[in-house]
Homo-oligomer: A and B are copies of this chain.
Amino acid sequence: MTTMLHNPFYTAEVQGAYDMHSLGRFELEEGAVIPDLQLAVATRGVLNDDKSNAILIPTWFSGTHQAWDSLYIGPGRALDPEKYFIIIVNQIGNGLSTSPHTSTDDSIAMSKFPQVRISDDVRAQEQLLREVYGIEQLALVVGGSMGAQQTWEWAVRFPEKVLRAAPIAGTAQNTAHDHLFTNTLMDAITSDPGFNGGEYETHLDVASGLARHADIWAVMGLSPEFWNTEFWREDGPMSEGEPPFVSFDDFQARFVRPLFQMMDPNALLTMGWKWQRGDVARGTGGDLGSALARITAKTFVMPIDHDMFFLVTDCAKEQALIANSELRVLHSVAGHFGLNGFEKSFIDEVDANLRELLAAPVNGNDGVA
């Protein structure tokens, strides 16, 4: 047995309360096995008697249930816990669900953590919903970025279970450019001598690799417009409790770098590998059109206008292949990181779109709203 590393970032104190659900032995698509897969789950609201009010939210790269809970869910919002039973499932390897640094089983701890695919997460979530909650159909699946990748996989793999889908800032089939971008993020970590092939003693050993990882995120996760308009000067969630940022270097040094430096390197690499390979067409011999034609959900495809790697053009091409779908472009000067809710206007746009989607009648479910 290996000793798990302690990292205070991945605690209920920092991320908010969650429950752990064991799925037992879980076979991964790549062939490896997680001896006891545990999913970290946060729920809001109450499941109604006919189990028709369930909404699933899978998490994004580096994130946990916390972002969705604090930014997108609340009474009077589209994701209203007074109407819906909302289940946020932390993705495998994100630091809360079974992850490299928390595994004590020698076969999967640290550098031995197996390669996990988006489809593994989706299969695990389907099992969780069925076994723990008896949920056979979802009023909505919604997620951002890697959460969008999981949303796509849900809608294609279990079309009969997904009445509505809202993939935000993420594609059904990852692009070559996005794959190369993710390589640079991962290489920033693995090239740090402190990474030690994944066998570091604390994530602090990899502080400089994590800082370079953060520096690449600054270029591609935010946007030219964010930096060039000095958006970081705005009051908002970035500046809470901080003295004002005085320069872009200062913002980078006091906000973006420290954020990623709190995280676990192996967790980021597990998620990065998974992200690079998101592809709903793996089940249809590589034919994206056939895969997307399986979708029966009413689908709002929601890219962000300034996103540098999940591009509006790429999302629009996919949306055009789905029968019951609409393209809803979101607006954020923060680009992909707009998901973090730096702008109230962005959150309001998401809210308005989800409200409309949830109100739309779909086959077998007329909308709870």
Binding site for B on A (CB under 8 A): 175-181, 183-184, 187-188, 191-193, 208-209, 212, 215-216, 218-220, 222-224, 226-228, 230, 248, 252, 308-309, 311, 313-314
Q: Which residue of the partner chain, among B184, B192, B209, B222, contacts A219 with CB atoms under 8 Å?
A: B184
A219 x B252 contact (CB < 8 A)? no
Q: Shortest distance in angstroms between A256's beta carbon and chain B's nearest beta carbon?
A: 10
B residues near A215, Cβ cutoff 8 Å: 180, 183-184, 187
A184 to B220 Cα, complex, angstroms: 11
A193 to B192 Cα, complex, angstroms: 9
Name the residue on B nearest A309 (C-beta).
Answer: B224
> Which DSSP category, helix, strand, loop or mixed, fits chain A's interface?
helix
B308 x A180 contact (CB < 8 A)? no
A191 to B208 Cα, complex, angstroms: 9
Q: Which residue of the partner chain, among B175, B218, B226, B228, contacts A227 with CB atoms under 8 Å?
A: B175
B residues near A188, Cβ cutoff 8 Å: 212
A43 to B121 Cα, complex, angstroms: 62
Contacts A184-B215, A184-B219, A215-B183; A177 near B311 (Cβ below 8 A) = no
A180 x B220 contact (CB < 8 A)? no
Q: Shortest distance in angstroms between A38's beta carbon and chain B's nearest beta carbon?
A: 34
A176 x B219 contact (CB < 8 A)? no
Known: A177-B219, A177-B228, A184-B215. 5 other contacts (CB 8 A): A176-B230, A180-B252, A184-B216, A184-B219, A308-B308
A102 to B302 Cα, complex, angstroms: 53
Name the residue on B nearest A232 (C-beta).
Answer: B176
Q: Shortest distance in angstroms between A315's beta carbon and chain B's nearest beta carbon?
A: 12
Q: Shortest distance in angstroms between A203's beta carbon and chain B's nearest beta carbon?
A: 17
B176 x A227 contact (CB < 8 A)? yes
A224 to B230 Cα, complex, angstroms: 25
Contacts A191-B212, A208-B191, A212-B187; A180 near B219 (Cβ below 8 A) = yes
Q: Shortest distance in angstroms between A193's beta carbon and chain B's nearest beta carbon?
A: 6
B residues near A308, Cβ cutoff 8 Å: 308
B residues near A184, Cβ cutoff 8 Å: 184, 212, 215-216, 219
B residues near A227, Cβ cutoff 8 Å: 175-177, 180
A228 to B308 Cα, complex, angstroms: 14
B residues near A222, Cβ cutoff 8 Å: 177
B residues near A309, Cβ cutoff 8 Å: 224
Contacts A180-B218, A216-B216; A224 near B314 (Cβ below 8 A) = yes
B183 x A228 contact (CB < 8 A)? no
A311 x B216 contact (CB < 8 A)? no
B residues near A208, Cβ cutoff 8 Å: 191
B248 x A180 contact (CB < 8 A)? yes
Name the residue on B nearest A252 (C-beta).
Answer: B180
Q: Which residue of the partner chain, among B223, B248, B313, contacts A179 with CB atoms under 8 Å?
A: B248
B residues near A216, Cβ cutoff 8 Å: 184, 216
A258 to B21 Cα, complex, angstroms: 48
B residues near A219, Cβ cutoff 8 Å: 177, 180-181, 184, 220
The 8 closest A-B pairs by CB, nearest first: A177-B224, A176-B227, A177-B227, A176-B248, A181-B219, A175-B228, A184-B216, A180-B218
B residues near A220, Cβ cutoff 8 Å: 219-220
Name the residue on B nearest A222 (C-beta).
Answer: B177
Pick 15 A–B contacts, CB within 8 A, sort by A.
Answer: A176-B228, A176-B230, A177-B224, A181-B219, A184-B184, A184-B212, A184-B215, A184-B216, A191-B191, A191-B209, A219-B220, A224-B309, A224-B311, A228-B314, A308-B308
